[in-house]
Each structure stands twice: as C-alpha cells, then as structure tokens.
C-alpha cells in the first residue's frame, strides 16, 4: 500500500480504483491521457478539496461592475474582481476576454492561479430562489435566511443541508423535517428540538435514535413510543406539565445534562446505513456498491463521496455533486458528467481543471465560462487545436514537480492532482476544511496556506446586551429585542435576531439562543463524527465492525445486529 505524501499514513488503491481511473481518463483525438493513482490518502484529498469551498464566511463589499453593495464569499480586500449575481450572469462581460496563451515551460497550476486572479468571480453562488438572498449553495428555496447547501427548503433559518424541509432553524443534515430546531441527522421529523438520528416522529425534545415516536423528552433508542421521559412512560397530563416548564434557558440546560448521562449508559448504533447494499460509511440511504461515503442518498458505485442528497453514479472523491456521473476529485459538480479536478461547475461534460464553468463541454483549465467548448485557459480553440494542445500541457504537468504540504521528501508531477491548497482563493479558516480538519493559525501558516483573522463590526442598534443578561424565558423577551445586539456568551461576537427568528422561538416555546449563529453551527459540527472509519469490536458480541466512532470514544457501541436486538 502507498503512503500518503502529506500525512504519511498508508492507504489502499484497489484494482477497482485503477479501473475507474482508466475509465475517467480523458481522450484527445485517439489518445487517452491516463490519470495516475493518487498520491494522497482519501482524507488528505478531501481536505484539499474542502479548502476551496467557503460556505459561511460572508462579507459585505461592492460589486466591481455595478458599484452596488452585495454580500459575498470574498472579503472587501480580496484581490479579485467580484460581481453580484445578475451582473455575473449577464452578457455585459465575456470570460473569453481574459484568455491566455499556454506556456508549456511554466507550471500549469501557476498559470491557472494567475487566470483565477483575473477572471471576475461570482460574489455568492445563489440559485434564482424566492426571498433567500443570504443563503449560498441553496436550490429551490423560499424565504430562507442564512441557510447553506439546502435543497427544496422553505421558511428556514441558519440551516445546513436541510432538504425537503420547512420552518426549521439551526438544523443540520435533516430531510423532510418541519418545525424543528437544533436537530442533526433527522428524517421526517415534526415539531422537535435538540434531536439526533431520529426519524418518523413528532414532539421530541433531546432525543437520539428514536423511531416512530411522539411526545418524548430525553429518550434514546425508543421505537413507536409516546409520552416517555428519560425512556420511562408517563401519562399525558404529567408529560404536558413537564413540557410546559421547558421554555426557559435554565430548564433546557438541566434536561440536556440529564440526557447526556442517560445517552452514555445506553447502547449506541455503530453506523446509520438504511436500505443499502454492499456499502460502507455512515448516514447513508438507498445506496449500492459504495465505499466510505457519508451523508448521502441514492449513490451507486461511488467512493469517498459526501455529502450528496440526490442520485449520483460512478463518483470518486466528490463532494456536493448531485445528479452527476463519472466524477473524479471534484467539488460541486452538479448535473455533470466526465468531470475531473474541477469545482463549482454545473451542467457540463468532459471538463478538466475548471472553476465556475456552466453548460459547457471540452474545457481544460478554464474559469467563469458559460456555454463554451474547446477552450484552454479561457482561450478559444478549434476541436483539432484543442485535441493537439491538451496532451502537450498534460505532458508538461507530468514533468512539473508538485510539493505536498507536510511531506518530508519526494515530489510528483501536477497531472492527476487537484490544485494545491496554497492556491485556494480563500483563507483556510474561511473554508469547510476548518470544520472537518481544524488547524491553528500557526499550523496553517507553517504549511504555506492563508489565514484570515475574524473581525465583526458592531451593528447599529439601540442597545447592546450580554447573552447572560437575556431574560431566561421566551415569555419575558420583549419585541424590542430585535433592536438589540447580543454578545455571544462564548465568543463575545455580536449578533442580532430577525423578526422571522423571534416568531419561530415564540411559536416553538424556545428561549432566545445565547450563542452566535456561527457558534451554534460549530456546536452541531461537534455532534457529527469525522468522515472516517475505524475498525472496532462490538461491545456486545465482539464482532469487528466499521464505525465513525473513534476508539477513545466513551459510547457503548453495538454492531447493527446487536443494536437491533437490544432495541426491538
């Protein structure tokens, strides 16, 4: 097995992997340019791709075409032209005007990075959705605020990967949920809060792995139960009396602490894989023949894919790439096929090393193109010229050494590698790589990557209040709170409530949060295990199993067979 050139860990490259690389390798004329086996392990390849995607670090700046104010992924001092959505998609500019001749004696990655510095960037990736201007990477959403990567979502706030859901707030990785708050990995859940891995239920509070349950508080591993508190049955009157007391911050904190103790004492399911065949990973539904995939549905013949809420086939090392086929080492390849080493490119075919290209095919090293074909570094060629030139570029890439961050020695060529993290347009801590692979400022800078200090402007408000000074109960929160700035009790970062948010807390009988929205998101990230598998013995039958729970975790971990026997 080869050793990763970044982390030095050994990893497996199977015969199926090599066959896929042969199938995805591009053909120019009659010549196939074989993609070599990877030099980084799957986790380090994931980190590299993640470092090119900013989801939550949003900034106010000016559109470089219209002069209008906009909210953007790019800071005001970023060295790029940045356009607002309508300007970027308009015919007022042509990305081909930035085209460059290929220099066969220069690093292709360096040429690609220079082109990225020139071509205007889309300020924030938004679909034409109704009233969701601050919700990046969302599709088919209505009236959503500060949601990220949601599909078919309505009237929701601060959600991440909420799909086919509505009226939710501060939820992550939920599907078909309604009126839910601070829920993670839940499916078909209604009017529930602080739940994880629950499905087909309603009226749940601080529950985990409950199915078909309603009106339960602090429960785990229950099936088809009603009116239970800490896994014990209670009558309806007793339940309602307790539930009515849980509208304050202090009461919820007490329940949360009691539930944490109960959860550790009860068995925990090693993985959540539903209606899948020959599949490994976690939080999978209706998948077939997949290896180490996470947070996905309807995948077939894929490996190292996450997250993906819609059907995808033959994707390997791809993220946020639904409805696609034959994808390798890509980020956000939507409704596309035969795509390699590319990001944020939709409805395209047979493109390699491209960024923000749409409805195009046969591109190499292009940025910001729409409805184009046979282009290299944004310069137009004929098909014959394209087929003749690209193999020469690839041959030069094979000879151009690429050093991996953290590698003690050894170099390989650029061809077959994703662009290096040092060429990301974002600071490392502004990207989702920091969520999955957290590093300190010193560690990031030592690797030659970018870091950006976080700065908040105090909003113009009538009053500033520390979070701990907020009234404990939602009943005591005045309408005027919308004119206050609240200092996060953990980071001291100021944040405001909006009217839609306050109405949600009141309707759900929930206290106003005391943490900044970013800190609430980070709290949910800690509830998500690493997208990595360990071999561990079942703590009941000692059978070896694959799980995302690291060996040092304290949970009472059971394999699927033992868990189901315990629960049913």
Per-residue pLDDT 10s for the chain (568 aa) are 899 999 999 999 999 999 999 999 999 988 899 999 999 999 999 999 999 999 999 989 999 999 999 989 998 888 889 999 999 999 999 999 999 999 999 999 999 999 999 999 999 877 656 677 788 998 888 999 999 999 899 999 999 999 999 999 999 999 999 999 999 999 999 999 999 999 999 999 999 999 999 999 999 999 999 999 999 999 999 999 999 989 899 999 999 999 999 999 999 999 999 999 999 999 999 999 999 999 999 999 999 999 998 999 999 999 999 999 999 999 999 999 999 999 999 999 999 999 999 999 999 999 999 999 999 999 999 999 999 999 999 999 999 988 766 544 457 899 999 999 999 999 999 999 999 999 999 999 999 999 998 777 777 788 999 999 999 999 999 999 999 999 999 999 999 999 999 999 999 999 999 999 999 999 999 999 999 999 999 999 999 999 999 999 999 999 999 999 999 8
Q: In this structure, how many other beta carbons lie within 10 angstroms of the beta carbon of residue 478?
A: 10
Which helix (DSSP H) or strand (DSSP E) does residue 395 occupy? helix 383-399
Distance CA 251, CA 136 (A): 35
CB 172 within 8 A of CB 184: yes
Closest CA relative to residue 490, chosen from 455, 523, 451: 523
Pairing of strands 187-193, 178-181: parallel
Which residue carries 């939550």 as its tokens? Answer: 56
Long-range contacts: 197-205, Cβ < 8 Å, 24+?
Answer: 197/269, 197/272, 205/243, 205/246, 205/255
Distance CA 210, CA 444 (A): 40
- Sorted by sequence, the CB contacts under 8 Å of residue 244 that are 6+ apart come out as none
Closest CA relative to residue 251, chosen from 209, 218, 293: 218
Closest CA relative to residue 7, chosen from 49, 59, 37, 43: 43
The tokens for 421 are 């993290």
Q: Locate the DSSP E strands across 365-499.
A: 373-376, 379-380, 401-402, 412-413, 463-466, 484-487, 494-495
The tokens for 565 are 């026997």
Which helix (DSSP H) or strand (DSSP E) does residue 269 occupy? strand 267-269
- Sorted by sequence, the CB contacts under 8 Å of residue 543 that are 6+ apart come out as 537, 559, 561
CB 54 within 8 A of CB 430: yes
Distance CA 125, CA 136 (A): 6
Pairing of strands 484-487, 494-495: antiparallel
DSSP 8-state class, residue 421: G
User: Torsion angle of alpha carbons 74, 78, 79, 80, nearest 10°?
Assistant: 20
Which helix (DSSP H) or strand (DSSP E) does residue 20 occupy? helix 15-24
CB 182 within 8 A of CB 520: yes
DSSP assignment of 511-568: PPP-S-HHHHHHHHHHHSPPS--EEEE-TTT--EEEESS-TT--SEEE-HHHHHHHH-
Distance CA 501, CA 144 (A): 11
Distance CA 378, CA 386 (A): 12
The tokens for 369 are 């193109």
For the chain, report the end-to-end CA distance as a whole number of angstroms: 42
């Amino acid at each position: 097995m080869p050793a990763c050139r970044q982390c030095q860990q050994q990893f497996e490259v199977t015969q199926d992997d090599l066959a896929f690389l042969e199938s995805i390798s591009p053909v120019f004329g009659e010549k196939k340019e074989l993609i070599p086996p990877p030099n980084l392990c799957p986790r380090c390849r994931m980190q590299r791709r993640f470092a090119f995607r900013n989801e939550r670090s949003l900034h106010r700046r000016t559109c470089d075409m219209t002069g209008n104010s906009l909210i953007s992924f790019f800071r005001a001092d970023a060295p790029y032209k940045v356009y607002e959505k309508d300007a970027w998609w308009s015919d007022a500019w042509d990305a081909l005007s930035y085209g460059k001749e290929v220099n066969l004696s220069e690093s292709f990655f360096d040429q690609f990075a220079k082109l990225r510095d020139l071509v205007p960037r889309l300020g924030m990736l938004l679909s034409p959705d109704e009233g969701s201007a601050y919700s990046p990477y969302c599709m088919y959403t209505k009236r959503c605020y500060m949601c990220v990567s949601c599909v078919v979502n309505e009237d929701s706030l601060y959600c991440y990967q909420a799909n086919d859901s509505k009226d939710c707030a501060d939820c992550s990785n939920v599907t078909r949920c309604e009126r839910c708050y601070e829920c993670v990995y839940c499916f078909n859940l209604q009017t529930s809060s602080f739940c994880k891995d629950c499905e087909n239920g309603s009226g749940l509070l601080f529950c985990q792995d409950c199915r078909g349950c309603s009106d339960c508080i602090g429960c785990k591993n229950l099936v088809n139960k009603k009116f239970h508190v800490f896994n014990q049955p209670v009558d309806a009157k007793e339940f309602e009396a307790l539930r009515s007391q849980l509208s304050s911050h202090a009461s919820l904190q007490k329940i949360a602490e009691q539930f944490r103790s109960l959860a550790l004492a009860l068995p925990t399911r090693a993985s959540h894989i539903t209606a899948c065949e020959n599949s490994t990973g976690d939080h999978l539904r209706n998948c077939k023949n997949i290896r180490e995939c996470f947070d996905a549905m309807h995948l077939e013949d894929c490996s190292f894919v996450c997250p993906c809420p819609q059907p995808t086939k033959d994707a390997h090392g791809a993220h946020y790439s639904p409805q696609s086929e034959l994808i390798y080492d890509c980020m956000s390849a939507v409704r596309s096929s035969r795509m390699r080493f590319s990001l944020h490119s939709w409805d395209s075919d047979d493109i390699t090393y491209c960024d923000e290209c749409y409805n195009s095919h046969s591109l190499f090293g292009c940025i910001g193109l729409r409805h184009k074909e046979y282009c290299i570094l944004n310069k137009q060629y004929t098909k014959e010229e394209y087929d003749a030139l690209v193999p020469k570029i690839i041959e030069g890439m094979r000879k151009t050494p690429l050093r991996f961050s953290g590698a003690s020695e050894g170099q390989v060529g650029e061809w077959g590698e994703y662009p290096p993290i040092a060429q990301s347009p974002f600071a490392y801590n502004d990207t989702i790589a920091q969520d999955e692979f957290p590093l300190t400022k010193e560690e990031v800078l030592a690797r030659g990557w970018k870091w950006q200090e976080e700065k908040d402007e105090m909003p113009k408000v009538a009053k500033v209040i520390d979070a701990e000074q907020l009234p404990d109960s939602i009943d005591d929160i005045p309408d005027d709170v919308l004119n206050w700035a609240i200092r996060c009790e953990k980071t001291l970062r100021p944040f405001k409530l909006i009217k839609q948010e306050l109405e949600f807390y009141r309707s759900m009988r929930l206290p106003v949060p005391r943490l900044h929205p970013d800190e609430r998101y980070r709290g949910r990230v800690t509830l998500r295990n690493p997208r990595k598998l360990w071999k561990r013995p079942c703590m009941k039958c000692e059978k070896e199993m694959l799980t995302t729970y690291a060996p040092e975790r304290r949970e009472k971990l059971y394999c699927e067979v033992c868990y189901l026997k315990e629960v049913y």
